[in-house]
Amino acid sequence: MPEITLNVLPIFILILIGWTLVRTGLLKDELGESLGEFVFKVAVPVLLFQTIAEADFHGASPFRLWIAYFAGVGVTWTVGHLIATRIFERDARVGVLAGVSSAFANNVFIGLPLVSRIVGSDGIVALSILLAVHLPLMMIIGTILMEQAERKISGGSSRGLLAILVQIGGNLARNPLVIGLAAGVVAHVSGLPIPTVLDGVVNQIAAMAAPAALLSLGMALNKYGVSGNFRIAGATSALKLLLMPACVWAACRLLSLGPEWTMAMVLTSSVPTGINAWLIANRFGVGHGLAASTITLTTAAGVATVTFWAWLLS
């Protein structure tokens, strides 16, 4: 356990340092936002490009990996929705947001550094394969379900599936993560070597991704908090940190996924809720408190639960 803790603790200490820098006034919120922009638009896309371009997939199929991970997402999302609507008697929109908050892991800002540190290059390859479909699927499903819930409550008209797909497709085509993955695939398939000077630049930028991501996340956490949704947020947090990785682990075992890929999928599914949950809440103007509280609680408790899952898989 001590060795595992030493691998997990630096991840959350960097988040804590970022939070403290803004909380104490040593740095301003705006700097954290700018650092987050750099991570999302430059550092992580370059890391994904490098990983895919240089990866050795050994002829492995991605479908079992996707099925294992999204089986956990489906179970956890459904349970979160039912708890919000049946036990806490919230409306369908909050039910959707509870599902999102329970099942949308922060794969980029925490998952990548964690998997890189504990699993290594094979784990980053597995996570890159997941990221190729994770954001599109989660955003499409979340948007469709939320619009259906809005229509059910307000009686308004729906935009229709095609309009939603066109909008999300346009956003994804401009998404830096998608561009980085696509460029990596092109480089990998072409087999062309990266020029030595450019490779050195890529290595340096990619090395910035993990620490910058964690610091920027900590700085961003200052605008969240636990705001009057403690009971339901406590439930969604428990689902995110315990049920989802348990489901992913079971699915990986059933599908006989390799040990490195299994560890990568379980670890990234065990990380705190991603900021995307708050973005969806903000987009539809509902459930801000629930999303923010879940992000805060899962980040605070994540150091213990992520350590547990890392220990269990070691």
Task: Please report the pLDDT score of residue 72 as a whole number.
Answer: 97
The DSSP-derived string for 170-198 is: HHHHT-HHHHHHHHHHHHHHH-PPPPHHH
- Spatial neighbors of 119 by CB under 8 A, at least 6 apart, are 126, 260, 263, 264, 267
Task: Please report the pLDDT score of residue 159 as a whole number.
Answer: 63
**pLDDT band at 58; cut points 50, 70, 90:** low
Q: Which amino acid is at 245?
A: P
Does the pLDDT value for residue 60 go beyond 80?
Answer: no
Helix 2-23 vs helix 29-38: angle between axes, to the nearest 10 degrees? 130
Q: What is the largest CA-CA distance in the chain?
A: 60
**pLDDT band at 1; cut points 50, 70, 90:** low
Task: Please report the pLDDT score of residue 152 as a whole number.
Answer: 77
pLDDT in tens, 94-152: 999 999 999 999 998 899 999 999 998 889 889 988 988 888 888 888 888 888 888 77
Residue 70 corresponds to which tokens in the numbers above? 């999204």
Task: Please report the pLDDT score of residue 59 as a whole number.
Answer: 61
pLDDT in tens, 181-190: 889 889 988 8
Task: Please report the pLDDT score of residue 4 as a whole number.
Answer: 81
Distance (Å, whole) CA 299 – CA 303: 7
pLDDT in tens, 178-211: 888 889 889 988 888 888 889 999 999 999 998 9
pLDDT in tens, 2-20: 778 888 999 999 999 999 9
CA angle 307, 309, 311 (to 5 degrees): 65
Does the pLDDT value for residue 258 go beyond 60?
Answer: yes
Does the pLDDT value for residue 79 go beyond 90?
Answer: yes
Of 232, 233, 257, 237, which is closest to residue 71 (Cα–Cα)?
257
Return mean pLDDT, the chain: 88
Distance (Å, whole) CA 77 – CA 95: 9
Q: Which amino acid is at 24?
A: T
Q: Which residue has the higher pLDDT, 17 or 172?
A: 17
Q: Quick check: helix, strand or coil at residue 22?
A: helix
- Spatial neighbors of 300 by CB under 8 A, at least 6 apart, are none
Q: Considering only 122-131, 227-236, 243-252, which range has the smallest mean pLDDT?
A: 227-236
**pLDDT band at 44; cut points 50, 70, 90:** confident
Distance (Å, whole) CA 166 – CA 169: 5
Distance (Å, whole) CA 120 – CA 92: 41
**pLDDT band at 228; cut points 50, 70, 90:** low
Q: What is the residue whose two structure tokens read 């075992």?
A: 253
Q: Is the dihedral of CA 211, 212, 214, 218 positive or negative?
A: positive
Task: Please report the pLDDT score of residue 105 as a whole number.
Answer: 94
**pLDDT band at 222; cut points 50, 70, 90:** confident
Q: Which residue has the higher pLDDT, 52 or 1?
A: 52
Does the pLDDT value for residue 243 go beyond 70?
Answer: yes
| Full-model pTM | 0.86
Q: Which residue has the higher pLDDT, 127 or 278?
A: 127
Q: Is the dihedral of CA 205, 210, 216, 219 positive or negative?
A: negative
